[in-house]
């Protein structure tokens, strides 16, 4: 059991990470994606193909920092690389499981979970932690495959909800209370300690095939100084997540 790979990859969609110097120093690899058009919020098929091509050439398969939550759909591509039965454990304030509203050929930050549940044959179970059970999944055939949990709770109880030994973990920092991270989406109420405890339990008990993290605050270069405290807070959360899964 444990984290299968410990390498750190930073994806550069939006220049979020050059300002996070300590996290940048911890990276084993950078992948530049900033030049790809039609990739923000909604990803066109040709853009998705190019992103997948660049990801496939990376050297590591450990921990991937994606950028802001508009690009969370990249997790779909990372999941599609897995060739054995596994569960997705998603920490997020949103389900990301809404069916595309007639927008054929587009994958979005709000639909990728639904698409993964429907299309990826090795994905057996999806546990979404930190989202209200009242949110509508809009995926009729997902009953029983996608489970919502409002909080992480006790680690043993969380682990009991995961039927497979192999898991992939995805984290959107908007699951956290704004005291611990600042994103461009509405936030949940999870304490950072609760998230870290859940991550450590997962890494110690399950075979973790990979991890990704998103939820950076998109800031134009000219305004970085205005948001220095928020960027620093996000880096602290990223480093805490990284340390918790590396040392578990």
Cα dihedral across residues 219, 132, 78, 166: positive or negative: positive
Helix (H) or strand (E) holding 232, with range, is helix 228-247
pLDDT score at 194: 97
87 — pLDDT class (breaks 50, 70, 90): very high
Q: Are 186 and 37 in contact (CB under 8 A)?
A: no
140 — pLDDT class (breaks 50, 70, 90): very low
Q: pLDDT digit string (tens) for 185-227?
A: 999 999 999 999 999 999 999 999 999 999 999 888 778 788 8
Mean pLDDT of the chain: 91
- Mean pLDDT for 56-63 is 93
Domains annotated on the chain, with CATH: 2-247 (3.40.800.10)
Residue 82 predicted with pLDDT over 50? yes
Q: Is the pTM of this model over 0.85?
A: yes
Helix (H) or strand (E) holding 53, with range, is helix 45-56
- Alpha-carbon distance of 219 to 223, in angstroms, equals 6
- Alpha-carbon distance of 209 to 199, in angstroms, equals 13
């Amino acid at each position: 059991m444990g984290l299968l790979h410990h390498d750190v990859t930073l994806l550069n969609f939006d220049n979020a990470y050059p300002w996070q110097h300590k996290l940048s120093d911890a990276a084993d690899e950078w992948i530049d994606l900033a030049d790809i058009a039609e990739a923000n919020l909604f990803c066109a098929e040709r853009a998705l193909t190019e992103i997948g091509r660049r990801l496939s050439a990376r050297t590591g398969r450990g921990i991937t920092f994606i950028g802001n939550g508009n690009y969370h759909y990249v997790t779909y591509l990372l999941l599609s690389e897995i060739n054995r039965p596994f569960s997705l454990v998603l920490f997020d304030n949103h389900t990301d499981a809404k069916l595309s509203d007639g927008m054929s050929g587009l994958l979005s930050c709000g639909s990728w979970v639904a698409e993964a549940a429907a299309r990826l044959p090795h994905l057996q179970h999806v546990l979404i932690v930190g989202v209200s059970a009242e949110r509508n999944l809009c995926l009729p055939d997902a009953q029983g495959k996608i489970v919502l949990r409002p909080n992480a709770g006790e680690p043993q109880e969380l682990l009991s909800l995961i039927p497979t030994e192999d898991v992939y973990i995805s984290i959107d920092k908007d699951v956290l209370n704004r005291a611990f991270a600042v994103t461009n989406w509405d936030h949940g109420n999870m304490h950072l300690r609760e998230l870290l405890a859940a991550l450590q339990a997962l890494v110690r008990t399950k075979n973790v095939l990979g991890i990704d993290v998103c939820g950076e605050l998109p800031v134009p270069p000219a305004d970085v100084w205005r948001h220095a405290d928020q960027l620093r807070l996000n880096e602290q959360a990223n480093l805490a997540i990284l340390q918790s899964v590396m040392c578990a």
